[in-house]
Amino acid sequence: MQSILTKDFDELLNSELDLELFRNKTFFITGATGLIGSLLTRFLLYADKQIGLNLRILALIRNQEKAQRLYADYLPAPLKFVVAELGQGNLQLTEKVDYIIHAAAVTRSKQMVADPVGTIHTALWGTDEVLRTAVESQAAAMVYLSSMEVYGQPTTTGQIAETDLGYVDLSNVRSSYPEGKRMSELLCNSYAEQYGLRVMTARLAQVFGAGVLPGENRVFAQFARSAMKGEDIVLHTTGQSEGNYVYTTDAIKAILMLLQNGKTKQAYNVANEDSHLAIKAMAELVVAKFGKPHTRVVIDIPTENMGYAPDVKLWLSSHKLQQLGWQPTIGLKESYARLIQWLQEQEDK
């Protein structure tokens, strides 16, 4: 039986993405053992094997054993692991790269609260290292992966375009993440202006689907696992914050299209406009479509600071990205169906 991730990759191969433009090119991908970085790396390896693109992929990692396990099904391959800790000054590339995707970042809310200084340093110093590498290598293009959290608390109503930045509370150390992303975006644009680097920013909505990694514990994975087990979905907030989502392969397609067609110094929202609803409403959708008859949504707010982002009313517009020819193909219900199939496949191994 074909894996759901293989099915996803085959759909991506047959999408509007023009992979021929990457023929004989070398990629440098940071965060290659994280969700987005690993999926980008795995898809490019799959595409290289299926249609013979003669790619070379340099994957930045911190843990060699973890990387070997993650990519076991793809080896041997035109893949080289680069072991380094971004922001520590030990990144060294010995070969020229054509395309860079900077996906490495702090992603756990608890870490943002427990180590806000480290969160900021990782964002700024790490991004600076990658940008210097891009300039030194004379890379054709770079995409920086930012977040919808850069919008903070929007001051406009309706759909949010890339110019509609809102308020970020600088007295809250949880803001180390969105403010670090904001400053990193400015750093990218400054390198573009000063050194002529072609660099674009992808402001990602919540990305999930087939291919999530073992141990993934963000809310989408918690909801899916609860539904699979027939358990209640427990919310640790009131669930009023509005979520913006995009399926994994739709996000991969967007990032690769930005390398090809994106305009330098520009930010692009990567979101499925139809996959937008409050967290509690999403939990109720999962219970209704994938849960057992007795399961329900339960609100249980902890007394300790879990580092959750403040409630926000945010509906991202992807019009700017769609003007480049990108179209999302997987809606929220199908995203959960494929995620659950993927999680079941991993349990059955």
**Mean pLDDT, rounded, for 178-197:** 97
CA dist., res. 132 & res. 92, Å (int): 11
Query: End-to-end alpha-carbon separation of the chain, Å?
Result: 13
Cα 118 to Cα 87, 96, 172, 230, 298: the distances in Å are 10, 30, 15, 38, 34
pLDDT at 302: 74
Instruction: Give the pLDDT band (50/70/90) at residue 19.
Output: very high
Q: Are strands 99-102 and 141-147 parallel, antiparallel or unpaired?
A: parallel
pLDDT at 110: 87
Q: Which of 309, 328, 310 is nearest to 319 (CA)?
A: 328
Q: Rounded to 5 degrees, what are φ and ψ at 211?
A: 100, -5
By CB atoms closer than 10 A (0-12, 13-18, 19+), residue 74 is middle
pLDDT tens readout for residues 288-303: 999 998 899 998 887 6
Cα 314 to Cα 94, 186, 241, 253, 266: the distances in Å are 43, 22, 8, 23, 20
Q: Tell me the average pLDDT of the chain.
A: 93
pLDDT at 50: 95
| Candidate from 171-175, 225-229, 237-241, 306-310 with smallest mean pLDDT | 306-310
**Mean pLDDT, rounded, for 312-324:** 94
pLDDT at 74: 86
If one compares 94 and 97, the residue with the highest pLDDT of the two is 97
The share of the chain scoring above pLDDT 90, in percent, equals 78
**Mean pLDDT, rounded, for 81-94:** 88
CA dist., res. 251 & res. 96, Å (int): 26
3-state SS assignment for residue 54: coil
pLDDT at 303: 66
Q: Which of 310, 313, 320 is nearest to 270 (CA)?
A: 320
3-state SS assignment for residue 225: helix
Q: What is the pTM of this model?
A: 0.94
Contacts 24+ apart (CB under 8 A), 62-68: 62/33, 63/33, 66/33, 67/32, 67/33
Domains of the chain: 4-208+245-273+315-329 (3.40.50.720)
Element (H, E) at 141: strand 141-147
Are 237 and 180 a contacting pair, CB within 8 Å? no
pLDDT at 137: 95
CA dist., res. 51 & res. 56, Å (int): 14
Q: Which of 345, 206, 221 is nearest to 286 (CA)?
A: 221
pLDDT at 58: 97
Count of other CB atoms within 10 angstroms of residue 199: 28
**Mean pLDDT, rounded, for 203-231:** 92
